[in-house]
Structure 1
Amino acid sequence: MATANKKSSKKAKKTKKASPVRGSKKKAAAKSRAAKKGGRVTKKVKKAVKAKSGAKKSATKKAAKKTVKKAAKKTTKKAAAKATKAPPKKAAAAAVAPAANKPVPPKPPAAEKAPKAATVRAPKQPKPAAAPAPASVSAPAADRGNAFYITTAIAYPNGQPHIGHAYEAIATDALARFQRLDGKDVFFLTGTDEHGQKMIQTAQGEGMTPFDLATRNAARFKEMDERLNVSFDRFIRTSEPAHHKSVQEIWRRMQDNGDIYIDAYAGWYSVRDEAYYAEDETVVGEDNVRRGPQGTPVEWVEEKSYFFKLSAYQDKLLHLYESQPDFIGPDSRRNEVMSFVRGGLKDLSISRTTFDWGVKVPEDPEHVMYVWVDALTNYITGVGYPDESDERWRYWPADVHIIGKDIIRFHAVYWPAFLMSAGIPLQKRVYAHGFLFSRGEKMSKSVGNVVDPFNLANQYGVDQVRYFFLREVPFGQDGNYNHEAIVARINADLANDFGNLAQRSLSMIAKQLGGVLPEPGEFSDNDKAMLAQADAMLEASRIAMATQQIHQWLNTVWAVVAEANRYFAGEAPWALAKTDPARQKTVLYVTAEVVRQIAIMAQAVMPESCAKMLDSLGVPADARSFAAIAERIRPGTVLPAPVGVFPRYVEPKTE
């Protein structure tokens, strides 16, 4: 993805001095130059746009200079008062009048009156600010206590949820559950991003309003989360009135900081990506369709727009990345973002006038905000913003935003810049996962390999699906999946290794020891080594999960599963029943203790199955957190009859 850009002030001045070009040739030449920069319309393009709308007079150089001078003066109250008395001039492109009788589906919340009127600035490229001192990167965060705040990217509900959505939700849920088990006060936010042109187009195609489409599909995304046992604390919808209020407040703060101004935009825009692209980022295919770097069609857009001074934050962002190397993960994404920012940032178009489904710009309702200003703000809306006295505000700043790698720039460049401008503490970390491929192919409706997560859960089981994707795919990298791979993980890792170990040991206790957990004798070196490896799981898992290395955490746990199977097979407790009953009790006790620790550790990925496993071990509900791991399982505990937790997957019979 790329930013929507504006030319430097130096180049803008040169453009003003250039000789005028008449007619269509003038428009084509100016349009080409603007396209190459992917952003701001020059004075020539502005005149061409006016000519297209019916204005036939072209301003002279002298009139152009007066226009800029007048726009600059309007930033003061005195000049504004004079401008009120003076007759309006056609060449002065400044405030945009509200649209009359324009439909708004549905009615958004009324815009709160800003502390002062929106300032209209001359279309001049600002000078980049110098790199700040570390303390000035953002406002200081309040004392958060034991709070831990984690988010998914909010899904775009112009269609039904697919396995890519499910993967992100499952992974984020595992991270959230892990921190809860480790005693953290967790707040987990997910939801839907409901505004934008894609929603309008899809709704029109289905003969419904964008709000009705969003409501229908948001319910399906929430249902998916519930089906996959995703333990979110809030499911946010960006069409909520509270969110509109939040977005308008952050806009006012950025505007009060002098970072928003109005101008005109011309460039390539992808409706599907909700992103602006420079000319050199697009390619015209054999079908004569121009596409952006994500392979999605782009269209030429020319309209008045508010801009955010992203260029002023280049040095500040680079300072952030260098002073906080863990701000972006994994390293490949950090390198990508730093390279992008070092290449130069240009100002970002942050409003649209060609549609009205979105959050209105304060004091200028003809404009709706660029959907990414709206969408990104959900992360603070979700914890009470703009009411910083809300008890949920203690969770901000977020500990980590979990997102897909295709939207890393929005979260690691735009979002921290917006927060810096608004004086709000920055999130602590952004982590981007990879894409899922079905047998090496990217999911596509045209290919017919889009997978319904509901069907997967019904076919294989919820915990089995959760385990497969988090164990099979290194989190942060692209991954492949297919039926054979899922079945292999279910039958080998779960049924054979973990499930069989628990079932064999617990069945032996039930049949040979009356269902009572035995008192162990003196531990042998093998016993001590086995227990030591189990005891080391927690700290190793904490280290892995602190940087979202979910696959490494599960590798650590399953290494203990493998070692426990070797221990059990080597000690052969079935044979000890006759030759050394006391030793058998010790081996079965050690095995039960290791199974208990594994089940506690794996709860974050397989909550229902591990709960059943802990039930079979007689572990009380209040002794299943990580804090309880240090206390050994109690001898003498009467165990219920063991029940298999992880059945093998058997292919359905075909008739």
Structure 2
Amino acid sequence: MTKQHAYITTAIPYVNGLPHIGHAMDYMLADVWTRYQRQNGREVRFQTGVDEHGNKIAAKAASQNQTPQAYVDQMHGNFQNMIAELNISATDFIRTTDPHHVSAVQYIWQKLAAAGYIYKSTYEGWYCQGCEAFVTDKEAAENNGICPDHQSPYQRLSEENYYFKTSAFSENIRQAIESNKMKIVPEFRKKEFLELMKDGLKDVSISRPRKNLSWGVPVPGDDTQVMYVWLDALSNYITVIGYPDRPEEWQAFWPANVQVIGKDILRFHAGIWPAMLMALDLPLPKVLLVHGFINVGGAKMSKSLGNGVGPADIIPHYGVEAFRYYFLRHVPTQDDGDFTWEKFEAAYNGELGNDLGNLVQRVAKMVQSYQAGVIGDAPQAEHDMGPYRHFMESFAFNQAMDEIWQIIRSLNQYIERVQPWQVAKKRAKDPEAEAHLGEILAYACGTLLQVSDMLRPFMPQTAEKIHDMFASGVVPPEPTPLFPRKYLHTPDPRAPKTDAQGSK
């Protein structure tokens, strides 16, 4: 792999439901990293996609009197629409029903079997159809026999399956994680997983009898078995870039620089996936970036509580840039976050509308009023980029945004302190006032150009607008406000006050 190539992936969601905020977080975090790498001259492949196999899909299709294929053909577009709506700069979208993927997964199976890592045995134990996951007796007991994520009882299964010898790679995987050869970010997730695997990884069932799982990739050479959905799904990260039949393509990008996942699927990506790669004699991904969940007012989002919130609730009213801003800055990149309309509108009106929007408008209007729109030579801003770069490189994107806002706030304070409107008044009597005013406004414009560069990975449209306003040296007349004030869910402080009788 050359230094100019980079590869980032996101988890592929099942298509049996509509995309939600967790999927949006995957896409946005990967998009920030992608845009930042492209700014720094790298060619990035950015994978997204959907998981279209498994019993959950088949059951949902049957409930709608459709074949599984017709159902997934109808549903996958919802995820592509969200990717477009969020302005995600992905290069690849994979469906696990794609013919290339299916044949590549069968090749992977055959390679694992030929290397002696697959054997047949009888599975007896617990299974959650919602997670499409087998669970240990210990895990089932700790959860009182009920899946905490789906609130449904585990099923007791007894069936003949094929197994993958994950246990053969326990020590190598532990060493890769401990040495950060495969780095798990944040550190506390790394510790959690190492604790989970302290007694070694167990061999995993990688197939189901066709009579119990009809919708999936057939096991090569055994028509009675269908591949377990996780083996099929995890393989997408390499099949989408051309494994195994397009070596020039996949070898240029694999190993992935970053794989973005939610905390609930870390054990699959830190356990089964590296074991598969080791068995295939392929390098491990460099970083697993694990994000948390988003709560609403401190409570977990749930259909039963009706407290879900998603792009469709926000973007039509406030725009995609405000959506990206809130969830990338006010949700910690590496941990759980919280959403309330109060927090969102405070951030929208205070930070986007006031701190940034008013600042841009104010500087543009002063250049118009005092210099006929001509900036002159905007000096290269000299703000220290070190902290911003440190946070970007360490996947603390919310803290990188905090650094941008420090510059925005310091420029607001600078303008209040030097009061260019007062300097403008002195021009008739003070020969140096004209040059001083020019320096002040050029510095402000230069700083805003730096802000636009730093904002580009997070809020590309806003960054472009700021850049277009100041980069040419001439500010266009009548710039439109970036973030006009909106109070759709909270009281508007500008509204007339009423007394107890209702009079104004």
Q: TM-score, with normalisation over the residues of structure 1?
A: 0.71
1:234 to 92, 100, 110: 92
Match of 2:408 in 1: 561
Structure 2 residue aligned with 1:532: 382
Alignment partners' CA distance in 2, 1:395 and 1:503? 43
In structure 2, which of residues 429, 434, 440 is the aligned counterpart of residue 587 of structure 1?
440
Q: What CA deviation, in whole Å up to 9, does each residue of 1:20-68 have, x standing for no partner? A: xxxxxxxxxxxxxxxxxxxxxxxxxxxxxxxxxxxxxxxxxxxxxxxxx
Question: For 1:518, what is the secondary structure of its paired residue?
Answer: coil
What is the SS of the residue equivalent to 1:545?
Answer: helix
1:638 equivalent in structure 2:
474
> What's the secondary structure of 1:598's corresponding residue?
helix
CA contact (8 A) 2:325 2:459 kept: yes
Distance in 1 between residues matched to 2:2 and 2:162, nearest whole Å: 35
Task: Report how far residue 325 of structure 1 moved.
Answer: 6.1
Give the aligned residue type for 2:387: A
2:388 aligns with 541
Matched position secondary structure for 1:269: strand
After superposition, give the CA deviation of every residue in 1:129-161 in whole Å (9 maximum; x if it has no partner): xxxxxxxxxxxxxx3331110111011110111
2:338 partner SS: strand
AA matched with 2:43? D
Q: What's the counterpart of residue 208 of structure 2?
A: 352
Name the CA distance, whole Å, in 2 between partners of 1:519 and 1:199. 60
Partner of 1:56: none
**In 2, Cα distance between the equivalents of 1:574 and 1:392?**
58
Q: 2:293 matched to which residue of 1?
A: 435
State the match for 1:110 in structure 2: none
Give how far 1:450 is off: 2.1
Query: Which of 421, 443, 452 pairs up with 1:599?
Result: 452
Alignment of 1:290 with 2:145, yes or no, is yes
- Residues matched between the structures, number: 481
Could you tell me which amino acid in structure 1 is paired with residue 55 of structure 2?
Answer: Q
Match of 1:577 in 2: 424
The one of 218, 229, 238 aligned to 1:371? 229
Distance across 2 between alignment mates of 1:272 and 1:472: 30
C-alpha distance in 2, partners of 1:311/1:602? 45
1:322 CA displacement = 2.0
**Residue identity in the other structure for 2:382:** A
Rounded to whole Å, the distance in 2 between the matches of 1:613 and 1:519 is 17
Give the Cα–Cα distance (whole angstroms) in 2 for the partners of residues 472 and 148 of structure 1: 27
SS of the residue 1:476 aligns to: coil
Return the letter of the residue paired with 2:437: Q
What is the match of residue 457 of structure 1?
Answer: 315
CA distance in 2 between counterparts of 1:296 and 1:555 reads 41
Please report how far the alpha carbon of residue 467 of structure 1 lies from its aligned counterpart in structure 2 after TM superposition: 0.3
Counterpart of 2:309 in 1: which secondary structure? coil
Q: Is the CA contact (8 Å cut-off) linking 1:405 and 1:433 kept in structure 2?
A: yes
Structure 1, unpaired ranges of 5+: 1-142, 620-636
AA paired with 2:147? G
- Do structure 1's residue 550 and structure 2's residue 406 form an aligned pair? no
SS in 1 for 2:252: helix
Distance in 2, Cα, partners of 1:340 & 1:508: 60
- Equivalent residues in 2 for 1:372-387 (5 A)? 372-387=230-245
Name 2:48's counterpart in structure 1.
190
Match in the other structure for 1:333: 189
Secondary structure in structure 1 of the residue aligned to 2:197: helix
2:311 pairs with 1:475:
no
The structure whose Rg is larger is 1
What is the TM-score when the length of structure 2 is the normalising length? 0.92
The alpha-carbon deviation at position 213 of structure 1 amounts to 1.8
| Mean CA deviation greater in 313-322 or 395-404 | 313-322
Where do residues 84-99 of structure 1 align in structure 2 (5 Å cutoff)?
A: none
Structure 1 residues 271-280 or 402-411, which shifts more? Answer: 271-280
Contact 1:613 1:645 in 2 (8 A): no
Deviating more after overlay: 163-172 vs 406-415: 163-172
Select which of 487, 491, 500 maps to 1:650.
Answer: 487
**Inter-CA distance 144–360: structure 2 relative to 1 (3 Å threshold):** farther
Quote the Cα distance in structure 2 between the aligned partners of 1:461 and 1:561.
Answer: 21
What does the per-residue CA deviation read over 1:592-643, in whole Å, with 9 as the maximum and x for residues that have no partner? Answer: 0000010111011111122111111135xxxxxxxxxxxxxxxxx2221233
| Counterpart residue type for residue 453 of structure 1 | P
Other-structure match for 1:405: 263
Residues 419 and 426 in structure 1, CA contact (< 8 A), matched pair in contact too: yes
Residue 462 of structure 2, aligned match among 598, 604, 609? 609
Partner residue of 1:116? none
Taking only aligned residues, the RMSD between alpha carbons, in angstroms, comes to: 1.9
Q: Which runs of 4+ in 1 moved over 4 A?
A: none
**SS in structure 2 of the partner of residue 360 of structure 1:** coil
3-state SS of paired residue (1:365): coil
Which region of structure 1 is more displaced relative to structure 2, 392-401 or 411-420? 392-401
For 1:638, give the aligned amino acid. V
1:283–1:292 CA contact under 8 A, matched in 2: no
Deviations 1:524-574 (A, max 9, x none): xxxx9xx432xx22x432321222111111011111111111111111111
- SS of structure 2 residue aligned to 1:394: helix
* Correspondence for 1:114: none
Counterpart code for 1:644: P
CA distance in 2 between counterparts of 1:550 and 1:284 reads 35
Residue equivalent to 2:497: none
Summarize the Cα distance change of 1:315–1:326 in structure 2 as closer, same or farther, 3 Å threshold. Answer: closer
CA shift at 1:462, angstroms?
A: 0.4
Q: Secondary structure at the match of 1:157?
A: coil
Name the residue aligned to 1:97: none
Q: Which amino acid aligns with 1:351?
A: S
Structure 2: any 5+ residue segments left out of the alignment? 427-432, 493-504
Secondary structure of 1:532's match?
Answer: coil
**Percent identical:** 39
The answer as to whether partners of 1:290 and 1:298 remain within 8 angstroms in 2 is yes
Is the Cα–Cα contact under 8 Å of residues 155 and 192 in structure 1 kept in the other structure?
A: yes
Change (3 A) 1:213 1:601: same
Residues 143-162 of structure 1 aligned to structure 2 (within 5 Å): 143-162=1-20
Alignment of 1:243-322 (within 5 A): 243-283=101-141, 290-294=145-149, 295-322=151-178
* Pair 1:200–1:284, CA change in 2 (3 A): farther
1 CA distance for matches of 2:488 and 2:174? 53
Q: Is the 8 A contact 2:301 2:307 kept in 1?
A: yes
Please name the residue that 1:500 is paired with. 358
CA deviations on 1:229-284 (whole Å, 9 max, x unpaired) are 11110111001011011111111221121110011111100001111112221249
**Residue 167 of structure 1: CA displacement?**
2.0
> 2:232 aligns to what SS in structure 1?
helix
The alignment partner of 2:23 has SS state of helix
